[in-house]
Structure 1
Amino acid sequence: MASSRSPSLNMLERRLSTSSISSLTEMITNVASSSSILLSEEPAEVVKEEELRHVPMKLDARRYKAPAFAEELLQLFRSLQAPSWTNPDITADKVQIRKVSGSLTNAVFFVSCPTVAHIRIMLLRIYGASSGALISRPKELQTLHILSSRYHFGPRVYGTFENGRLEEYFDSTTLTADEMKDPTVSGWIAARMAELHSVDIELLEGTSPKNRGEGKGWEIGVKRNVQKWVGPARNVLALPNMPEDVRTELDIERFCVEWQRYMHWLSAVEDLNGGSRRVFAHNDAQYGNLLRLAKPKEGLPGHRQIIVVDFEYASPNPAAFDIANHFHEWTANYHSSTPHILDPSKYPTPEERRNFYASYLQHSTFAGHPLITPPGAANEIAKVENQVRAWSPASHGMWAVWGIVQAEEDLRNNVTEPEFDYLGYAICRMGSFRKELQDLGIGHSLE
């Protein structure tokens, strides 16, 4: 949900990716970021990656219109040896800086020099002071670097500075909700998801031969996130200005009991029917985090036109969780008057799901080999459908807790008309979580 849930540039838009609705379409083209809240004055965590260039300087996102900011930026680009930006013809007065988003997670800018030929546009990301509350910045950077440099997924990172990083810019447009549902584009998204799910978890998690695998070197992200976020969610719900009816409806203690019952149920189902394959998952495949190249290279496979961005919530997870989470994004409209409300009637139909599964399975590999052959496709499609149904409530539950945590800033600042209604979003996802538990036969009264 958030990329950030992962709100993402596009909305959240609801999670960590959002912008103001009036200008969102333009602002969010080509990038996906996070929820809109002013940056705090508190220092952000310094994040480095061993294989990347790093410059010990900080940028103040609030000063981006000042001439001095352009001077500092040009110095930074040259120190990081950003492609094409060492050209001596570039001067600070020629640098154009366009703000794409300002948020709790990031402030994102497109930086260009249109009056000098052959200068690449750069994407500048300045971290918000509170960006580490829900995600690990060091882990995100490591993941992004490995995925882009070894697997050609996502934007290349050119280097880091004390409170941000410099990334590759794609000449692309962000998918719309309708485009995401087009059968051809949906198949492309499935293919890209399958390719991501085929990368080596152990490489991305940095495990050794002695601590490989689930429960040893890593835990699946949805369980870890809920466990990590429940405490902060309790604190938010305990704030004195939290509406009592909201506190009662969300009922975090009831959720904890329901979540544990659901986890036990999942464990039993997976033991009986075979578990969903553990993969490295994006976990926030909403349309705001999916770009389509404006000018794809000749001969490029169709699905490679889709560029996946915002890996803030990426982690090991069941493949079925990532697919289920994506399907729930079909029900979201982050450009509506109620962007925090999901519409279950928009959930993909059986035919639309089969289209997605067929492409996903066709492009899936495991240990370097195709996951299935055509004769086994029907059985595999049915198997994946059952696994997606089983893991579907987990998406609702995780983002419900996320929404509660995200509401803290607005509550503490007594914001009466927030840009995005995080509590309303949490209520929507919590209600869907509990309904799906009932549908699966896991009621609140279950002992």
Structure 2
Amino acid sequence: MVVTPDFKPLKATEPLSPLLLPNQPRPPLKQRSTGSFSHISDFSLDSPHPEDEVIDPIEKLEKLKHVDLSLDATEWRQPVFKTKILSLLRKLRIPKWNSPLLKPASIHLQKVSGACTNAVFFVSFNPSPTPTTPNFSPLLTPKIPPADPTLPISEKVIPMTLLLRVYGPSSGALISRTEELRILTVLSQQYHLGPKVYGTFLNGRIEQFFPSRALSPAELRDPFISTCIAKRMRELHSVDLGLLGFDSEDSMIWRFLREWLELAEATLTKLEGINEEWKAYVQTFHLDNLRKEMEQYRQFIRGKGPTHVVFAHNDMQHGNVLELEAELVPVGMPKHHRYIAIDFEYAAPGTRGYDIANHFHEWQANYHHPTHSWSLIPHAPYPTLDERRTFYRAYLDDTREEALDQLESEVKMWSPASSAFWALWGIISAEDHVHSLSLGEEREKEVDFDSLSYAQERVSMFRRDARELGAISN
């Protein structure tokens, strides 16, 4: 039997982020007329338009600034990419980026490595008249080029650094972008948590940048940081689901698994039809058995009784936890408020056991590894019992053994679901790659993340953990 957590939902007036206190409300987004453009000829570097009326983004989310443009993230090293970005920022009227004095060379571009679902970039101002070469940034710490001392620039006119997110080619099948934007808007405007969204385009969005850095894989194991993450997760789990627009009383993991299984089967069917080699590879997934095993596991969970549903992040990996610069945390704020969660793409009603189990699996990941970014095996071990209990104490704010044992039981019970979720995600994420192979096209574009190998490993992890629970037969 799963025990209902004994904490109440936070009110929307209770800040979860030190970036914005209740007595310092963030200005509402501004609605302006936007033109549509989809061809390179439409990427005009025109002058900005006058400001329009101010609207409430919570009530009129559908009026969030938008342009009908798609960016090809594989062009990021080419000069045309900066041209498109600058035109996009002007069309969206991003403050200071809409100056007619700016040129594509005014953009300093860095790609954030380790992002799996999307291509993420820092868009910073280049104070030098000499163009910079786009490069990688392994952490969320963009390095700004030095200014030219002969060309002094007032800080008042320097455009702010932005986060450019280009959605992955197959992510539309995995993620409801409308739902994600609703969550981001409510968390940002009502709970003062998460980035402001400045505008969207057909396959991405422009977000506020927090001066911060992402955690390294090893830092998840740091006892102090781990307890901070636990407290942050507890706060997220206290967010009012109704305010976010959810009315589900059940974990949405079952809906994800049901819908994604169909998509995964379609992708693997296409893959095995390419040739005998790929057919043999697909058979290693034993997909027919996987469908039965997932249903057996679901029935096993159902048999344990009702579960309490919370607002779960569902992707608390090292790259999705930021450490804010110290000066951003006001004096007197709790120390754990220096750490914030980002990327709510997979956030949904779920169980605390699932969210914590998923986080513990991420202790084994290293998405920056040069050869095995897709694997959880060669990098670091799953947290020990002592490490897990340290996390539980911080999460529960409780040291009673029975409370810690109960949460450990929930985490073990939901651990297989995490692997099932990401196994199907990996297969579906390979759809674009599989489609190219089915057309006989050679892969000219580098595959940043071997999602099929990742999926194969997570299928094995699901079966291992489910068998240990006694949820599926050998």
User: How much has 1:252 moved relative to structure 2?
Assistant: 1.3
> Does the C-alpha gap of structure 1 residues 387 and 65 become closer, same or farther in structure 2, counting only changes over 3 Å?
closer
Deviation of residue 286 (structure 1)? 0.9
Checking the alignment, whether the CA contact within 8 Å between 2:170 and 2:429 is kept in structure 1 is no
Aligned to 1:181: 221
* Closer, same or farther: CA 62–287 of 1 in aligned 2, 3 Å: closer
Work out whether residues 227 and 390 of structure 2, in 8 Å CA contact, stay in contact via their aligned partners in 1.
yes
**Paired position in structure 2 for 1:97:** 109
Aligned position for 1:230: 261
TM-aligned CA deviation for residue 73 of structure 1: 3.9
The residue that corresponds to 2:469 in the other structure is: 440
Name the structure 2 match of 1:358. Answer: 393
Tell me the CA shift for residue 178 of structure 1. Answer: 0.9
Secondary structure of 1:346's aligned partner: coil
State the distance in 1 between where 2:309 and 2:434 align.
37
1:197 matched to 2:226 = no
Tell me what 1:382 maps to. Answer: 405
Larger CA deviation: 320-329 vs 288-297: 288-297
Task: Give the Cα separation in 2 of the matches to 1:378 and 1:51.
Answer: 50
Q: Render the CA deviation track for 1:374-393: whole Å, top value 9, x for unaligned.
A: 5x743222211111111111
* CA 141–422 in structure 1, closer or farther in 2 if over 3 Å, else same: same
Distance 1:188 1:130, change over 3 A: same
Q: Distance in 1 between matches of 2:197 and 2:431?
A: 31
1:340 is matched with which residue? 374
- So what's the TM-score if we normalise by structure 1? 0.75
Amino acid of the residue matched to residue 289 of structure 1?
Answer: N
Higher relative contact order (CA 8 A, sep 6+): 1
The two structures have a TM-score, normalised by structure 2, of 0.71
Number of aligned residues: 374
**Match for residue 405 of structure 1?**
428
- Cα displacement string for residues 212-248 of structure 1 (whole angstroms, at most 9, x for unaligned residues): 342xxxx523111111111121122222246344333
State the Cα distance separating 1:110 from its structure 2 match: 1.7
Residue 120 of structure 2 corresponds to: 108
The answer to whether the Cα contact below 8 Å between 2:115 and 2:319 also exists between their aligned partners in 1 is no
Give the direction of change, closer, same or farther, for the CA distance of 1:161–1:431 in structure 2 (3 Å limit): closer
Q: Comparing 306-315 with 100-109, which one deviates more in the overlay?
A: 100-109
* SS of corresponding position for 2:121: strand
Alpha-carbon distance between aligned partners in 2 of 1:329 and 1:102, rounded to the nearest angstrom: 13
Could you give the per-residue CA deviations for residues 99-153 of structure 1, whole angstroms, max 9, x where no partner exists? 4469895333222224342431111223344330211111112111211221222
1:391 is aligned to 414
Equivalents in 1 of 2:285, 2:78: separation in Å? Answer: 44
Structure 2 partner of 1:430? 459
Structure 1 Cα separation of the partners of residues 339 and 266 of structure 2: 39
Query: Secondary structure of 1:334's match?
Result: coil
Structure with larger Rg: 2
Measured against aligned partners, the alpha-carbon deviations of 1:175-232 in whole angstroms (never above 9, x if no partner) come to: 111111100000111111111111111221x25xxxx342xxxx52311111111112
Alignment check: 8 A CA contact 2:109 2:124 kept: yes
CA distance in structure 2 between the aligned counterparts of 1:420 and 1:71, rounded to whole angstroms: 27
CA distance in 2, matches of 1:401, 1:95: 37
Q: Do 1:189 and 1:306's aligned partners in 2 also have CA atoms closer than 8 Å?
A: yes
Paired position in structure 2 for 1:248 = 283
Which amino acid in 2 is paired with 1:321?
Y
Find the aligned partners of 2:159 and 2:242 in 1 and give their Cα distance.
37
SS in 2 for 1:270: coil
* Secondary structure of 2:220's aligned partner: helix
Note if contact 1:154-1:308 (Cα within 8 Å) is conserved in structure 2. Answer: yes
1:150 aligned residue: 190
- How much does 1:67 deviate? 6.4
1:155, distance to aligned residue in structure 2 (A): 1.6
Match of 2:177 in 1: 137
Q: Is the 8 A contact 1:104 1:129 kept in 2?
A: no
2:3 paired residue number = none
**Residues in 1 aligned to 2:72 and 2:465: alpha-carbon distance in whole angstroms:** 45
- Residue equivalent to 1:7: none
Change (3 A) 1:333 1:128: closer
* Secondary structure at 1:394 match in 2: helix
Structure 2 unaligned residues grouped into runs of 5+: 1-38, 40-59, 128-152
Superposition CA RMSD, Å: 2.9
Q: Is the 8 A contact 1:280 1:316 kept in 2?
A: yes
The reply on whether 1:318 has 2:351 as its aligned counterpart is yes
Displacement after TM superposition at 1:174 (Å): 1.4
Structure 2 residue aligned with 1:297: 329
In the alignment, residue 229 of structure 2 is paired with which amino acid? Answer: I
Opposite residue 329 of structure 1, the aligned amino acid is E
The CA deviation at 1:301 is 2.3
Answer with 49-58 or 394-403: which moved more.
49-58
Structure 1 residues 106 and 428 mapped into 2: Cα distance closer, same or farther (>3 Å)?
A: closer
Alignment of 1:412-427 (within 5 A): 412-414=435-437, 418-427=447-456
2:14 match: none
Q: 1:403 to 1:202 in 2, by over 3 A?
A: same
Aligned partners of 1:419 and 1:92: how far apart in 2?
Answer: 26
- Partner Cα separation in structure 1 for residue 115 and residue 391 of structure 2: 33
Query: Aligned equivalents of 1:75 and 1:333: distance in 2?
Result: 35
8 Å Cα contact 1:180/1:186 also seen in 2: yes
How far does the alpha carbon of each residue in 1:364-406 deviate from its partner, in whole angstroms, 9 at most, with x for none? xxxxxxxxxx5x7432222111111111111111112222222
C-alpha distance in 1, partners of 2:383/2:72? 43
Q: 1:202 & 1:402 partners in 2: Cα distance? A: 27
Q: Tell me, in whole angstroms, the C-alpha distance in 2 between the residues paired with 1:102 and 1:358.
A: 30
> 2:415 aligns to what SS in structure 1?
helix
Residue matched to 2:132: none
Quote the sequence identity (%).
Answer: 43
- 1:328 maps onto 2:386 in alignment: no
Structure 1 residue 361: deviation in Å?
A: 1.5
What is the aligned partner in structure 2 of residue 33 from structure 1? none
- With over 3 angstroms needed to count, the CA separation of the structure-2 counterparts of 1:127 and 1:401, relative to structure 1, is closer
92, 112, 118: which one aligns with 1:80 = 92
* C-alpha distance in structure 2 between counterparts of 1:289 and 1:181, whole Å: 15
Report the Cα distance in structure 2 between the residues aligned to 1:180 and 1:104, rounded to whole angstroms: 18
Q: Aligned partners of 1:236 and 1:158: how far apart in 2?
A: 34
Q: 1:268 aligns with which of 285, 303, 314?
A: 303
